[in-house]
A and B are shown apart, each in its own frame.
Chain A
Amino acid sequence: MTDTDDEVPRRTVTIPDRIELPRLLDFYDLQDADHTRIHEFYDRLREGSLSTTQCADCGELHFPPRVVCPECTSDDLEYVSLPHEGTLHAFSTVRGSPIGMDTPFGTGVVDLDGVDVQLSARIDGAEYDDLAIGDPVSLVITEIDGPTDQQRVFYRFEPQGDNE
């Protein structure tokens, strides 16, 4: 044992202050055929249509879209259009500020009209106090800007009548 550590060499390692948003911290998936087998869902959404998969063998309607039917394990699935209107089943406000999301914003659960599909979605264009269970809402397509070169999209809903 020595009294001091004068003779121990010292070096510096530098950690960068910033890094590009890592792939696994991006909330949105890469939506093309190179990355996901449900790219048709995103392709259709980009073209303006909300859709999902339905089993060609047993008829089960899925949401989210699948590549294997969870009801009968068939992989013979086809894309079908979903209604663009629905009603609010429940809703709240997100204030927890997950990184990459500007809070507060509305979120909710929507019962699509005429089909047995219930999905969660961000609810744009209204404050919590302005909404009620059962309010009619309709689809909004959001285009995702960055951080990839892909033209990515996702769906949200807003109270009907807001989209003039």
Chain B
Amino acid sequence: MVRNAAIVGGGHADWGKREATWKDLAQEAGKATFDDVDGLGPDDVEGLFVGAVQPERFAFQSHVAPLAAELLGVNASKMIARTELACASGQAALRYAWLAIAAGQLDVALVLGVEKMNLGDEYMGETQASMTNVLDREFDGVNGLNAPSFFSMYAQRHMHEYDTTREQLAQVSVKNKRHAANNPYAQFQQDVDVDDVLDSFPVAPPLCLLDCSGITDGAAGLLLVSEEKARELTDTAAYVTGSGQSCMASNSINNLPSMSAWPQATQAAEEAYEQAGIDDPVEELDVAEVHDCFSISEIIEYEDLGWVEKGEGGQFIEDGRSELDGDIAVNPRGGLLGCGHPLGATGVSQALEVYKQFTGEVESARQVPDSPETGLIHNLSGSGSVHSVMTLARDPQ
């Protein structure tokens, strides 16, 4: 039995430096989710999937899925689990919910992503230390490889091998922060220009502060239901049409296939495209939420998701092809660069954005024109070792 599943709504807590706990954020996102969907409440939820990366380090709390179930009054009578896949934990949660529904195990799932990361500026060292254990801590994290220093080397290699320019990197930040300026839950709601990016603090050269996503407290939730249930509830849903993941047995530096390319993203995308029947993604995708944890990431993703030839990602942003009115509207939500990156919540938020683009419920300044009907979400994790790609469509065929 393989059944279709669809997103029928969801909501966010406000993202940023929040004067709130992990539990507060989970409750806010849960309320926003149930408030958004007429006809479904906590009692209807049979499966709960919670994306959360480091509650043990950031909130001194484990076993967070039943904690969230209790907070939201969710019975989770058939399935409950937390997913941990570093920065892609959110899409992992969604993927498992989809598989459970596709397999006929349940009809209504709540997918929740929650991360509390800001412990106060005086404790930023603890947060940064926790981030270094995402790679092999014994051999890579120990060398200070937290996210900025690591992804800066992807930027350096890409610039070295393909002549990608610093300005092209900055253009990604400018685009995504422009979208976030019109997103009420985003952490960074301010326009910047290329000079602002280039003049910002060199956090990890060649990357500057405005090339980086934030340290963010945030949460997002969505309801994923079987097609039968979706048709009872609404005329406009976002159906999962394809889903792929690839790891290539890589995590440590020595075993990454490349430091300027993500063939794992290519594998995951090809898998999703095949399931969805997508032959030409640039032609057939209307909107994409891709993992711009750093400006360089989005440029590599244009290439390795199969939208342009390798090395032409910088030209793709420079030519405006990823703007709202371009070939594929990329990160109308504001991306991780604009919204911030509460690790476990990001993948859930990306999926919800595609749904909201389909229903036209986003702020007009960041609405993708001409009623988008197909979308893609992409979550990467760790050193770029794992890539998760899902395609969504208003029509399940």
Q: Which residues of A contact B (CB under 8 A)?
A: 25, 27-29, 63-64, 70, 89-101, 103, 105, 107-109, 117-122, 128, 133, 154
Contacts and interface: CB of A to CB of B under 8 A. Distances in A.
Interface string B127-171: 011011000111111111110111011101100100000000000
Interface string B195-235: 00000001111110000000000000000000000000000
B203 A120 contact: no
Contact of B153 (A28, A91, A119): A91
B146 A90 contact: no
29 contacts: A27-B137, A70-B249, A89-B259, A92-B204, A93-B149, A93-B204, A94-B146, A94-B148, A94-B149, A95-B202, A95-B204, A96-B124, A96-B148, A96-B149, A97-B125, A98-B131, A98-B132, A98-B146, A99-B125, A100-B129, A107-B145, A107-B149, A108-B153, A109-B153, A109-B253, A119-B253, A120-B253, A122-B143, A128-B205
A95 B202 CA distance: 9
A64 B254 contact: yes
B75 interface: no
Given A92-B204, A93-B205, A96-B203, A63 B157 contact: no
Given A94-B204, A96-B149, A109-B253, A120 B138 contact: no
A119 B160 CA distance: 19
Nearest to B136: A64
By Cβ-Cβ distance, the 10 closest A-B pairs, closest first, are A90-B153, A94-B144, A98-B129, A99-B125, A92-B152, A96-B128, A63-B254, A120-B253, A98-B128, A64-B139
A120 B157 contact: no
Interface of B: 124-126, 128-129, 131-132, 136-146, 148-150, 152-154, 156-157, 160, 202-207, 249, 252-254, 259
Contacts of B136: 64
Contacts of B139: 63-64, 119-120
Contacts of A118: 253-254
Nearest to A108: B153
A109 B138 contact: no
Nearest to A110: B253
Contacts of A91: 153, 156
B128 A27 contact: no
Given A98-B125, A128-B205, A119 B254 contact: yes
Contacts of B160: 133
Given A89-B259, A90-B153, A91-B153, A120 B143 contact: yes
A90 B157 CA distance: 7
Contacts of B253: 109, 118-120
Contacts of B205: 92-93, 128
Contacts of B124: 96-97
Given A92-B150, A103-B144, 19 more contacts: A63-B252, A92-B207, A94-B144, A94-B149, A95-B203, A95-B204, A96-B144, A96-B149, A97-B125, A98-B146, A99-B128, A99-B129, A100-B129, A101-B144, A108-B153, A109-B259, A117-B254, A118-B253, A120-B253
A99 B138 contact: no
Nearest to B259: A90
A96 B212 CA distance: 12
Contacts of B203: 95-96
A90 to B, nearest CB: 4
A121 B144 CA distance: 9
Contacts of A28: 138, 142
Nearest to B254: A63
Contacts of B152: 92
A120 B156 contact: no
A17 to B, nearest CB: 14
Nearest to B161: A133
Contacts of A120: 139-140, 143, 145, 253
A95 B152 CA distance: 12
B164 to A, nearest CB: 14
A44 to B, nearest CB: 15
Nearest to B129: A98
Contacts of A92: 148-150, 152-153, 156, 204-207
Nearest to A65: B139
A121 B183 CA distance: 40
A92 B296 CA distance: 14
Given A99-B126, A100-B129, A64 B249 contact: no
B123 to A, nearest CB: 9
A115 B125 CA distance: 36
A46 B125 CA distance: 29
Contacts of A108: 153
